[in-house]
Amino acid sequence: MGKNENKKKVPETTISRLFVYLREVTELSKIKIKTISSAELGERTNLSDAQVRKDLGYFGQFGVSGSGYSVSGLRDELQKILGKDKTQKVALVGVGHLGSALLSYSGFSKHRLDIVAAFDTDIRKIGKNLEGVLIQSIQEVAQVIKEKKIFLAIITVPLGEAQEVADLLVESGVECILNFAPVSLSVSEGVKVKDVDLSRELETLSYFLDNGD
Amino acid sequence: MGKNENKKKVPETTISRLFVYLREVTELSKIKIKTISSAELGERTNLSDAQVRKDLGYFGQFGVSGSGYSVSGLRDELQKILGKDKTQKVALVGVGHLGSALLSYSGFSKHRLDIVAAFDTDIRKIGKNLEGVLIQSIQEVAQVIKEKKIFLAIITVPLGEAQEVADLLVESGVECILNFAPVSLSVSEGVKVKDVDLSRELETLSYFLDNGD
DNA sequence: TAGATTGTTAATCGATTAACAATC
DNA sequence: TAGATTGTTAATCGATTAACAATC
């Protein structure tokens, strides 16, 4: 029962691309383009037509043979699939350079993610307001997270503190962590963690530059 | 000829993990641990023993049957493979929140990437020094990049300016771009681009939170 | 209708995992 | 030697690409 009657698992890469399609058709609808083919949409997003159709095919049949997809129709479908209407409350721990960047990242406001709490250990920062979010003491994490029923947190603290912070977050009820500290966090079963290591991404790329393709 | 006699292509994911192994064995060597097995190294990096051995196997035979890998030996080999001794000069375009974060990211100083030039359009920022790097006018990009022979650039400008900046960079001789603006850049053949869309990564993760695993 | 484009199946590609003989 | 662990091949898994009948 439920919406997942046909259980072919959707790859994470597909979901990720769906956000790209959504962005694209949202732009197209603004400039009054009515219809787009998978080939055109693929060209605009640097993907193949087959990939576009395959990705959409996981969720239904949105196109019309011979003419393609309705731009506004596809936009609405994608919004429904990706749940853009729901807003996800997020806590941010570590208001350093990167934390501030994420906090002010314009993307958040117009999307499904809303940073509603920020924490730091630095007394000079605590009590201040950044982008409309109050920076609180790390000691209040547990209370605030429970109070506000926050299930997703972003960790932007230094390497040495990341695991400790993660433990605290999980203990407080967080189920999903996006970790920007360059460690692989270990958390209890059921908690979802994604490590985003910017330094490593940069280094990997630069390796491929040096060594050809 | 050259080092790539056996041409089995190394996956980018492998290179990426090599940086993780390097970080781990560097830590281990600091605390005087002499030897580590693929199973132990895998456990510490949340990877399987088979994965560790496979990854290393692309580059040679560094282990000893029955006892594992020499920590310092593996560290040195990985450093050699990843070219940590060489320092790659990098230009950063867009000194906003995220740009500042990357600029100050401690990771850079101790790794192979060195931001040697930063650019912005904001007159209030131009001429200032951030983390020891002079912020220059975007109009000087071409000249500085050629002068300093910079082949890698990081784009942290707003969405609308990214493609324009990319064109300018490529024209100036940049061969590799790490793009943090949420667009898929189109560049001429031969130029390597990696798009890192933090907002999209966040959204993708939060989708999976909402929808179970 | 003829042309265009979908949705979907099959083929391909590539990466991860399992298994095990070789070996210290 | 016996036990442990490697390096590597084969099996599996999963995602991308190609192909094409169905259809507007």
Question: pLDDT tens digit string along A135-147?
Answer: 999 999 999 999 9
Q: How many CB atoms lie within 10 A of CB A159?
A: 12
Mean pLDDT in chain A? 88
Strand C surroundings (CB within 7 A): A 37-39, 49-50, 53-54, 56-57, 61-69; B 9, 11-14, 47-48, 50-51, 53-54, 64-67
* Residues B33-52: tens digit of each pLDDT: 999 999 999 999 989 999 99
The pTM for the full model equals: 0.84
Identify residue A31 by its one-letter amino acid code. Answer: I
B 34-53: CB within 7 Å of strand D = 37-39, 49-50, 53
Q: How many CB atoms lie within 10 A of CB A2?
A: 4
A 46-85: CB within 7 Å of strand D = 47-48, 50-51, 53-54, 64-67
Q: Is the minimum CB–CB distance between A152 and chain B shorter than 8 Å?
A: yes
Q: Is A129 exposed, middle or buried (0-12, 13-18, 19+ CB in 10 A)?
A: exposed
* Residues B165-178: tens digit of each pLDDT: 999 999 999 988 98
Interface A-B, measured as beta-carbon pairs within 8 A, has a size of 144
Distance CA B177, CA B79 (A): 23
- DSSP result, A58-79: TT---EETTTEEEHHHHHHHHH
| Residue among A46, A96, A111 minimizing CB distance to B199 | A111
Q: Is A178 exposed, middle or buried (0-12, 13-18, 19+ CB in 10 A)?
A: buried
Measure, in angstroms, how far nucleotide C16 C1' is from residue B63 CA. 21
| Residue among B96, B97, B113 minimizing CB distance to A202 | B113
The residue to which tokens 């197209």 are assigned: A28
When mean pLDDT is compared across A94-103, A110-119, B56-65, B108-117, the lowest value belongs to B108-117
CB A62 within 8 A of CB A69: yes
Query: What's the pLDDT band for B211 if we cut at 50, 70, 90?
Result: low
* Residues B144-172: tens digit of each pLDDT: 999 999 989 999 998 899 999 999 999 99
Mean pLDDT in chain B? 88
Distance CA A55, CA A92 (A): 31
Quote the minimal CA–CA distance from B45 to chain A in Å: 6
Give the pair of three-digit tokens for residue B39: 């199973």
CB of B56 lies under 7 Å from some atom of strand D = yes
The residue to which tokens 């090599």 are assigned: B18
pLDDT at B95: 94
Q: How many CB atoms lie within 10 A of CB A16?
A: 17
A 6-65 residues inside an 8 A Cβ radius of B: 12, 15-16, 19-20, 23, 44-46
Q: Is B116 helix (H, G, I), strand (E, B) or coil?
A: strand
Distance CA B118, CA B103 (A): 9
CB B125 within 8 A of CB B100: no
Identify residue B178 by its one-letter amino acid code. Answer: L
Q: Which residues of A touch B204 (CB under 8 A)?
A: 12, 15-16, 19
Measure, in angstroms, how far nucleotide D3 C1' is from residue B61 CA. 21
Quote the minimal CA–CA distance from A176 to chain B in Å: 7
**According to DSSP H, which parts of chain B are helical?**
12-30, 38-45, 49-57, 71-82, 97-104, 106-110, 141-148, 159-172, 198-210
Half-sphere exposure for B8 (CA within 13 Å, toward CB): 7
User: Once rounded to an integer, what is the mean pLDDT over residues A56-81?
Assistant: 96
Contact B16 A178 (CB under 8 A): no
Contact A100 B104 (CB under 8 A): no
Q: Which residues of A touch B101 (CB under 8 A)?
A: 96-98, 100-101
Calculate the alpha carbon distances from A205 to A149, B13, B117, B177, B190 in Å.
38, 11, 19, 9, 14
Measure, in angstroms, how far nucleotide D21 C1' is from residue A45 CA. 28
Q: Does residue A118 carry a pLDDT above 50?
A: yes
For CA atoms A204, A207, A211, B3, the dihedral sign is negative
Q: Is the minimum CB–CB distance between B194 and chain A shorter than 8 Å?
A: yes
| Residue among B105, B196, B202 minimizing CB distance to A113 | B202
